[in-house]
Amino acid sequence: MESNSVLTIEDVNKTFGGLRALSDINLDIEEGKTHAIIGPNGAGKSTLLNVCIGRLAPDTGSVTFNGKNMVGLQPHEINHAGMVRVFQTPEIFPDLTLLQNVMIPALAKRDGMFCFNVFKDMRNQTDIRDEADHALEDVGLIKFRNNKADTISRGDKRRLELAMGLIQHPKLLLLDEPTAGMSRHDTNRTIELLQKIKERGMTKVIIEHDMHVVFSLADRISVLAQGEIIASGAPDEIRGNPIVKEAYLGGEEL
């Protein structure tokens, strides 16, 4: 593992029946950088993230995070180690307020996933409540703090889940399609938010189809196609790579 790498994936393979979803994946995620993973549908992007967070076990290979192999650990153990994933479909509590939604992962990370009484602990935890307010302020949702989560827009639900990730103080934040289904206005607001987080030096991996988002945020890009990494490099290298253009957009410009 390179000394400045937070996450190193080495020789990872994953098959489902006769289908090889990931083939000899090798990838380094550099500390403090934003690394985008792009590719057509079915390329293996979400499978790769699921291997990283322990939802899937690789057939072979290792996933080393902060010097420790994560393969064989449970998802909650990997989360507690500091690798936090924000999912493509928001995993929120629709009948709870935004403030309660953001407090839950902070309490769970501190006390264990099922070792606290949600509402009793929330009333008594002014420090975590204040921290949750700061997280909501960060993502521009503080004015909705007492609204139920099912009353806000899709874009705001995505930002709510981002706040739920940020309050866990991740060493590595994995974002799966953070702007999927958003209007252009909401997409631009999310880019601004992620740029603000980027300035703080947080390490991030982003899976994203919107090339405007990718080229606005990424320091480095890796391209997956049919389960293989066909290119990795700086955004300008990827933009001009003819193999990437052919595999990703049939030869059109990125």
Q: Rounded to an integer, what distance in angstroms lies between the CA atom of residue 222 and that of residue 233?
A: 7
Residue 39, pLDDT above cutoff 50: yes
The domain that contains 186 carries what CATH number?
3.40.50.300
Q: What pLDDT is recorded for position 1?
A: 44
On whether both 69 and 106 belong to a single domain, the answer is no
Number of domains forming the structure of the chain? 2
* Domain finish residue from 168, 196, 231: 168
Amino acid of residue 234: A
CA distances for 41 relative to 50, 94, 99, 135, 178, angstroms: 16, 29, 35, 32, 16
On whether both 142 and 251 belong to a single domain, the answer is no
> Domain residues for 212?
1-82+170-254
* Between residues 124 and 229, the one the model is more confident about: 229
Strand, coil or helix: 10: strand
Q: What pLDDT is recorded for position 250?
A: 55
Q: How confident is the model at residue 14 (pLDDT cuts 50, 70, 90)?
A: very high
On whether both 63 and 124 belong to a single domain, the answer is no
On whether both 157 and 195 belong to a single domain, the answer is no
On whether both 74 and 194 belong to a single domain, the answer is yes
On whether both 72 and 177 belong to a single domain, the answer is yes
On whether both 188 and 65 belong to a single domain, the answer is yes
Instruction: Identify which of 185, 171, 90, 114 has the alpha carbon closest to the alpha carbon of residue 102.
Output: 90
Task: List all residues 6 or more positions away from 162 whose beta carbon is below 8 Å from its beta carbon.
Answer: 86, 139, 175, 178, 193
Task: Find tokens 């995505």 and name the residue.
Answer: 158
On whether both 136 and 195 belong to a single domain, the answer is no
Q: Which of 175-189, 216-230, 238-252 has the lowest mean pLDDT?
A: 238-252
Q: Average pLDDT in the 94-104 region?
A: 93
The structure's pTM equals 0.88
* Domain finish residue from 168, 199, 218: 168
- Pair 203, 30: CB distance under 8 Å: yes
- Output 130-133 pairs: Cβ under 8 A, ≥24 positions apart: 131/106, 131/167, 132/99, 132/102, 132/103, 132/106, 132/163, 132/167, 133/99
Q: What pLDDT is recorded for position 249?
A: 56
On whether both 182 and 163 belong to a single domain, the answer is no
> What beta strand segments (E) does the chain contain?
5-16, 19-30, 34-38, 60-65, 68-69, 83-86, 172-176, 203-207, 220-225, 228-233
* Domain finish residue from 168, 186, 215: 168
Amino acid of residue 174: L
Residue 114, pLDDT above cutoff 70: no
Q: Average pLDDT in the 214-239 region?
A: 94
Q: Rounded to an integer, what distance in angstroms lies between the CA atom of residue 6 and that of residue 32?
A: 9
Q: What pLDDT is recorded for position 121?
A: 56
Question: Which bin fits 33, alpha (ψ -120 to 50), beta or left (φ > 0)?
Answer: beta
